Chains A and B, each alone.
Chain A
Amino acid sequence: MEQSTTYLGLIPVFPLLGAVVIGLLHVFTSTRWKLSEKLYGLIACVGPVLSFVLALKVFFALKALPPGSRFLTHNAFTWFSVGDLHVNMGFLADPLSCLMLFFVTLIGTLIHIYSIGYMGGDKNYGKFFAYMNLFLGSMLILVLGDGPVVMFVGWEGVGLCSYLLIGYYNEDRSNGLAGNKAFIVNRIGDLGFILGMAFLFWAVGAQGFDYLSLKANVHMMTPAIALTVCLLLFVGATGKSAQIPLYVWLPDAMAGPTPVSALIHAATMVTAGVYMVARFSFLYAQVELAGTIVAWVGILTALLAAVFAMYQDDIKKILAYSTVSQLGYMFAGVGVAAYSAGIFHVFTHAFFKALLFLGAGSVIYALHHQQNIWKMGGLKTKMRTTYITMVIGALALAGCPPFSGFFSKDEILYNALASGHWGIWSIGVLVAGMTAYYTFRMIFVVFHGEPRDQHAFEHAQESPAVMTIPLIILAIGAALVGFLNFPGVLTISHWLEPSLTEVHHSSTFLQILAIVASIVAFAVGVKIAYDKFGQAAQEPEFKGFADFAYNKFYVDELYNTVFVQPYKAIGTAIWKTIEPNVTDSPVRGAAKLYMVLGAAFKVLQVGYVRVYAIYMVVGLSLMSFFLSQSLN
């Protein structure tokens, strides 16, 4: 029995309202008199906090319901109704969306508080928070949507906010171009998503186009159609969640401010693709081939991105490629039908990746916007809180027990092994080792050893409390949330059961094998990193394969030559030749036609009244000629 609850609709409304209020305040006051930054900060945090409170309320309401009917719905209004397609602006809260809701609002609130400190002194302070609130509202619409269409509204909204926030420092043209790249690559993925939605509607959508109806009717789809829909929807996910081949926007997106990278490109927006696959688990469960393709694309992306991360020298780029790699893990998880494992990795990754990004932001802030790790060093004595929290985050990312990353990554790898995907498992273990390596390479180079830039080192100091307290809270989360899904107890997997269609494996031997392999990979990775960078590392010269990897395998240049330049050439050709002749000349020709006709008729206006009288007589005679014909 579903329950209808109005407060469900309010969850996205609070941040959106905040966005409107801040936006209007910024637009009307930023040029004349400046409002206090504290005011903007306060208004900005109200929305996320209220949404978090309501998320908790949703959680408790769902807990009170029996597992079989654990969902709440709310239909705000009927958006449109065309033929067989009825789309409501409706919201659905079931265990899956409740989990997503919880960490999105929590981490969103913490990052908003952090941004109050980080963005201090910026002249477009209000604009930043307006965009952040707008983003949070869109993400909540995405998560709470009760059907693919409402999800797509949120999907597009977060894409827009990503573009706005990446290009936030708009005096620098390259930031705007990075924003363009993100938006355009996303759009390519969105085309796949829209086609997938269209096919889905065509196949089974006539009886209702929301998740619950689709789940009930999914058995009516033929396997071929189901496979097509799954793959098309996954194309959308590759765009939004930066998998091969559409991952190229995420490293460039680091041009935005660090809180943006933390919130959007680590914790929330990029996980929308994984959420989408989990949401459609009933569909992916119909066709095993689709899941296998998803899993292989995911794990290969993880491998590729880990290789890149091992050679980068910009601290944010390392974390960006790390995000792409971990997203690959998540897709590997949902691809092998371990949906709850994938979502659990989303959950833990949100905590430790946001923590790492905010920590990196703290370092960047302290060193006056220096982002090259080969110009940092020895900061562990000067920035203790940042150091400790970042080490906790790094341990979680690398998969060290008992931190959260270990449990979630291990769950994915175990499920890959147990469902027979040996290839995916072995690549996964290799990537785990590489993850440990590049993470601790970063930690050792930035915090250990001697400072490489003495001047910046002198001026570095720990960040203010408004920035370190979110770091501490996230560190506690990164350390402890792993226990929510302890192998064997599996609280979160049980919680998510009503929303997902998955099989559970239980083989103790494979469980232990997976755990041992993960721990060995972690240890090997950290050892190699310590050997190379633990003591007084210097910036290396890259040759051969290392140089190739440092330049990201020249993938961006390849895309540019194969896709971008021909497209631009076509556009230029159309502009120069087709447009003037095909579209402009009929318009100009029409105007010219009237001028010519006018000049022709001008001849008749002679100015002599006698001639006008002759015209009248001509008319009279013609008229009587015709009338006399009819008189016959």
Chain B
Amino acid sequence: MLVNLLFYTFAVLAVLGAVGLIFFRHPMNGAMCFVGTLICLAGLYALLSAKLIFALQLIVYAGAIMSLIVFIIMFLNIQPEDLPKEETKLFYIIGGVVLVSPVALFLGKIINTLPNLRVDFVGGDFGGVKPVGLILFKDWLVPFEIVSILLLISLVGAVVLAGKKGMSK
């Protein structure tokens, strides 16, 4: 009972946050809505017995990535007059919804073919740090290494790009 209530609360708030992201003109407002969505998603992960991912979502996504985005938004000192004039935003949004509905319906149809389980909490160590660590370093070792190289590349790339001089207005 409580679980259902929690699920619906988190779900509605996540969707509202996403809608807010799409509609707000100033990116700061959109970012704040998006942070709300991310926190609700973290709650949903917890309801799915994904303990470590719940924590990582809050730390990495909502904590690191979003703070980085908000920092850059504030760094660029965006004034209302810098923002692009989006008169046709509503028209495009409605068009987008129309375009996207077949995709949604198709995916929905696929989901309906799966068996509808009850979502109870899984006991034991499911979703904890230890099982994740074990699997990460046994079955998923190679992707782990590749992702670490990817992070190195992006680190180097970001430093190079941000330090570029000589691009005139």
Contacts and interface: CB of A to CB of B under 8 A. Distances in A.
A adjacent to B, CB under 8 Å: yes
B1 interface: no
Contacts of B99: 614, 617-618, 621
A621 B107 CA distance: 11
A618 to B, nearest CB: 6
A631 B102 CA distance: 13
A625 B106 contact: yes
B103 interface: yes
A621 B95 CA distance: 12
Contacts of A627: 106
A625 B100 CA distance: 10
Given A617-B99, A621-B99, 8 more contacts: A614-B99, A618-B99, A621-B101, A621-B103, A625-B106, A628-B105, A628-B109, A631-B109
Interface of B: 96, 99-103, 105-107, 109-110
- The 9 A-B pairs of least Cβ separation, nearest first, read A624-B106, A628-B106, A625-B102, A624-B103, A621-B102, A621-B99, A624-B102, A621-B103, A617-B99
A622 B100 CA distance: 10
Nearest to A622: B102
Nearest to B101: A621
Interface string A595-632: 00000000000000000001001101110110110010
A96 to B, nearest CB: 89
A563 B22 CA distance: 86
A618 B102 CA distance: 10
Chain A interface size, as a band, is 10 to 19
A402 B153 CA distance: 115
Contacts of A621: 99-103
B114 to A, nearest CB: 13
A620 B109 contact: no
B40 to A, nearest CB: 26
B5 to A, nearest CB: 33
A614 B96 CA distance: 8
Nearest to A628: B106
27 contacts: A614-B99, A617-B96, A617-B99, A617-B100, A618-B99, A620-B103, A621-B99, A621-B100, A621-B101, A621-B102, A621-B103, A622-B102, A624-B102, A624-B103, A624-B105, A624-B106, A624-B107, A625-B102, A625-B106, A627-B106, A628-B102, A628-B105, A628-B106, A628-B109, A631-B106, A631-B109, A631-B110
A219 to B, nearest CB: 83
Contacts of A624: 102-103, 105-107
B90 to A, nearest CB: 16
A615 to B, nearest CB: 11
A631 B108 CA distance: 12
Contacts of B101: 621
Nearest to A625: B102
Contacts of B96: 617
A631 B107 CA distance: 11
Nearest to B110: A631
B62 to A, nearest CB: 26
A627 B102 CA distance: 10
Q: Which of B99, B105, B106, B110 has the most CB of A within 10 A?
A: B106
Contacts of A620: 103
A624 B109 CA distance: 11
A617 B109 CA distance: 19
Contacts of B106: 624-625, 627-628, 631
A620 B100 CA distance: 8
B111 to A, nearest CB: 12
A621 B102 CA distance: 6
Contacts of A614: 99
Interface string A266-307: 000000000000000000000000000000000000000000
Contacts of A628: 102, 105-106, 109
A625 to B, nearest CB: 4
Contacts of B105: 624, 628
Contacts of B109: 628, 631
Contacts of A617: 96, 99-100
Contacts of A625: 102, 106
A631 B110 CA distance: 8
A46 to B, nearest CB: 83
Contacts of B110: 631
B46 to A, nearest CB: 32
Contacts of A618: 99
Contacts of B107: 624
A402 B110 CA distance: 115
Nearest to A624: B106
Interface in A414-443: none
Nearest to A620: B103
Nearest to A629: B106
Interface string A375-413: 000000000000000000000000000000000000000
A103 to B, nearest CB: 93
A625 B103 CA distance: 7
A336 B159 CA distance: 110
Interface string A253-267: 000000000000000
Of B103, B105, B110, chain A has the most CB atoms within 10 Å of the CB of B103
B17 to A, nearest CB: 22
A624 B110 CA distance: 11
A418 B109 CA distance: 108
Among B99, B102, B107, B109, the one with the most A-chain Cβ atoms within 10 Å of its Cβ is B102
Nearest to B112: A631
A628 B105 CA distance: 8
Most B Cβ at <10 Å: residue of A620, A628, A631: A628
Interface in A529-569: none
A625 B99 CA distance: 10
A196 to B, nearest CB: 74
A618 B98 CA distance: 10
A628 B96 CA distance: 19
A624 B107 CA distance: 8
Nearest to B107: A624
Contacts of A631: 106, 109-110
A614 B102 CA distance: 15
Nearest to B98: A621
A20 B96 CA distance: 79
Interface in A346-395: none
A628 B110 CA distance: 9
Nearest to A627: B106
Nearest to B105: A628
A527 B96 CA distance: 116
A619 to B, nearest CB: 10
A391 B99 CA distance: 107
Nearest to B96: A617
